[in-house]
A = this chain, B = another copy of it.
Amino acid sequence: MPNRPSGAKAGLTRELVLDAALEYLDEHGLPALSMRKLGARLGVEAMSLYRHVPNKDALLDGLVDRVMELAFAGLDDPRDGWVPWMRQFAHSLRAALVAHPGVLPLAATRPVNSPDALRMSERWLAAMRAAGLPLGRAMDVVNVIATFTIGHTLAEVGRTPGHEGSEPDLDQRSDELDPAEFPNLTEVIRTRAGLDFDHRFTEAVDILLGGYAALD
């Protein structure tokens, strides 16, 4: 497949591979991502990728790590208070996940004790303690906000990890919905009550943070 003279270097890097993988993932979805197709996109055979990545799982882990890093970028100093910092982090994480929906199922199911994830947890804890929170409480707040954000965004993006648009959104299929069988759902669609994901997420995060803040 490569039209480059055989044996010549294509100039791959781990970073380039991850870039291409992330792009492919966001365009075509997780099930469509294979080493062969990723290689093809880079003008290279599948096996070449293994010079830069030990195996497919590690590649996927790298993608999760990347998006997590993205969520951390540009956060304020936590010493201004853990509540605003955590709120900012929650919204930043949600934005990063929405921007890379293909990574979402991965972020949700990767083990929490991979080296990357441990580094991430350490950073969270450091930030929260810098804001004056005791360790146990910091663990609780961090974990609750992170898991809620991932869970909620998962439902928000809400399609099979397969390529997007395979199913229409709930509010686009009001026609096919039998009002006799689904009276409440049809009313939801008609009145558009409770379909605002932004509002729901913001409100829930504030409830959680407010609740923890009141626990002193």
Could you list which residues of chain A lie within 8 angstroms of chain B, going by C-beta atoms? 57, 105, 108-114, 118, 121-122, 125-126, 129, 134-140, 143-144, 146-152, 154-155, 158-161, 166-170, 173, 177, 181-185, 187-188, 191, 193-195, 200, 203-204, 207-208, 210-212
Contact = CB atoms under 8 A, between A and B. Distances in A.
A203 to B, nearest CB: 7
Contact of A158 (B57, B113, B203): B113
A25 B182 CA distance: 32
Given A113-B170, A167-B113, A200 B143 contact: yes
Contacts of A210: 211
9 contacts: A108-B151, A121-B184, A122-B182, A135-B187, A140-B200, A144-B204, A148-B151, A150-B151, A204-B208
B126 A184 contact: yes
Contacts of A147: 148, 151-152, 154-155
Given A147-B154, A148-B147, A185 B122 contact: yes
Nearest to A154: B108
A129 B185 contact: no
A144 B111 contact: no
Given A109-B105, A113-B173, A136 B207 contact: no
A203 B151 contact: no
A211 B135 CA distance: 24
Given A108-B151, A113-B167, A113-B169, A138 B194 contact: yes
A206 to B, nearest CB: 8
Contact of A105 (B108, B118, B185, B193): B108
Nearest to A186: B122
A50 B66 CA distance: 40
A122 B154 contact: no
